[in-house]
A and B are shown apart, each in its own frame.
Chain A
Amino acid sequence: MSEWVDVCAIGEIEEEDVIRFDHVGRTFAVYRDEDGTPFCTDGLCTHEQVHLADGLVLDDEIECPKHNGRFNYKTGAALRTPACVALTTYPARIAEGRIQVQV
């Protein structure tokens, strides 16, 4: 099992928003939903490798900034073309006021 990795203080991601998180040569998108719960997925859209952190969080979905493809960031499911391939998701948690992901 991989280690929990520190991402940022909880306040650095607004509720219903996303940030980019780079870690050992990989890039991830770390989200908070409207209740403030954190989630983590691969950082690049599966359609054309665009950073999802520049996109828009709408309820449980992330909309890609390039072609408006959509994914459920909680399950990774691709919901709207041209995004067809699901995102990989990773566990995320809040510990002592900080967001951590297991990647």
Chain B
Amino acid sequence: MTPARDYSLIGPERDRAIAIGLASAEWYHTDVPRKVMKGLMRRNDGPATRDTILWLGLLLLTGIGGIATWGTWWAVPFFLVYGVLYGSACDSRWHECGHGTAFKTQSKNDWVYALASFMVLRNPVAWRWSHARHHTDTIIVGRDPEITVMRPPDIARKALAFVGIPDAFVHFGVLVRQAISGPNAEEADYIPESEVPKVMFWARLFVGLHLVALLLALLTWSILPLMLIGGPRIYGTWHMVLVGLLQHGGLAEDVLDHRLNSRTVYMNPVSRWLYWNMNYHVEHHMFPMVPYHALPALHELIKDDLPPANPSIPHAYAEMIAAVLRQRTEPGYFARRALPPGAKPYVEAFHTETSLPEAS
């Protein structure tokens, strides 16, 4: 039996990460001249406004179509599209608006962030702090609350995540717990005390709105209200999981170089639109101030300093699955890609297998 690492934020791995300088550390950045970076960071309401009108418009159309054809097979294609727009595209909207980079106008970021948080079943306050920690200590065991593929991997659970099981219920359970008692000890590790009332307010609001949908379903004795609210986080979440697992799955833990723990994957235009270009994940982690619509340009600029991007989703899955299968028995293993000639060498500290705790 392979011993599992302790991924809790209040256990010995946290103390170890702090003791050896992995927490709040300096990370590698590719050199980009300030003038060029300023151009890439520039904010603009245009792309996100266009994309949000399209997103909400399609949600409305497919939602109305689904209601109008409910009870017939015609409802199936409507809900297939509605489900992905709701249960998958919510993640990237949550993410970009949480960073505050999607729109230039902050109130637009805040509105879309609140809506997307509701859809993805994440507390908007708690997860803002969680994601800040994810950027400070990306895939540092004992510090990062957003490590999705732990070692040794639970492959069955990852497969079930494509249909929201048990993830949607776990996320809803977290909201219920936060609504009743606020952050737990792990969450308190990254959420300041002053934010607790806001955490509880949003948890209560989100739980309450979902209970209204449930009540409507019971009163009408139909699952239609739950097909429209909450349910898409189960039946439409597959695309979010499909692309999300690739962000860091099978790559290094406990390193200070995003080229080793994050993955850039070339994807089809529909996936990129649903995912708001987060397939350029190394670039996003290195420069989180660059808005999603400028990530392709950033990629072109720095790609010679990064490992080659995976050319497709299937290619990236082949790499990740091979690594994850090996991690079942060799938890220190990770997929390490060669850098192109001329790239700055990897930051070598902390990324050998021997840096992992002794198996006992």
| B partners with A | yes
Interface of A with B (CB < 8 Å)? 17, 47-49, 55-56, 58, 63, 65-68, 70, 80-82, 84
Chain B contacts for A70, CB-based, 8 A? 100
Q: A48-B24, A82-B132 are in contact. Are A66 and B288 (CB under 8 A)?
A: yes
State whether the Cβ of B135 lies closer than 8 Å to any Cβ in chain A. yes
Q: A48-B24, A56-B41, A68-B289 are in contact. Are A81 and B136 (CB under 8 A)?
A: no
Complex alpha-carbon distance, A65 and B135, angstroms: 11
Complex alpha-carbon distance, A49 and B23, angstroms: 13
Is B289 in contact with A63, judged by CB distance below 8 angstroms?
yes
- Name the one of B41, B43, B192 contacting A84, with C-beta atoms under 8 angstroms: B192
Chain A contacts for B289, CB-based, 8 A? 55-56, 63, 65, 68
Is B129 in contact with A81, judged by CB distance below 8 angstroms?
yes
Complex alpha-carbon distance, A58 and B109, angstroms: 15
Chain A contacts for B288, CB-based, 8 A? 65-68
Chain A contacts for B132, CB-based, 8 A? 47, 67, 82
Is A82 in contact with B100, judged by CB distance below 8 angstroms?
no
Q: A65-B289, A66-B288 are in contact. Are A58 and B100 (CB under 8 A)?
A: no
Residue of B nearest to A56 (CB): B41
Q: How many residues on chain B are close to A (CB under 8 Å)?
A: 21
- Of listed A17, A67, A84, residue having the most chain B CB within 10 A: A67
Is A67 in contact with B194, judged by CB distance below 8 angstroms?
no
7 A–B contacts from the bound complex (CB under 8 Å): A47-B132, A56-B289, A58-B104, A65-B288, A68-B99, A68-B288, A68-B289
Complex alpha-carbon distance, A84 and B195, angstroms: 10
Complex alpha-carbon distance, A65 and B106, angstroms: 16
- Name the one of B42, B101, B104, B128 contacting A82, with C-beta atoms under 8 angstroms: B128
Residue of A nearest to B288 (CB): A68
Chain A contacts for B99, CB-based, 8 A? 68
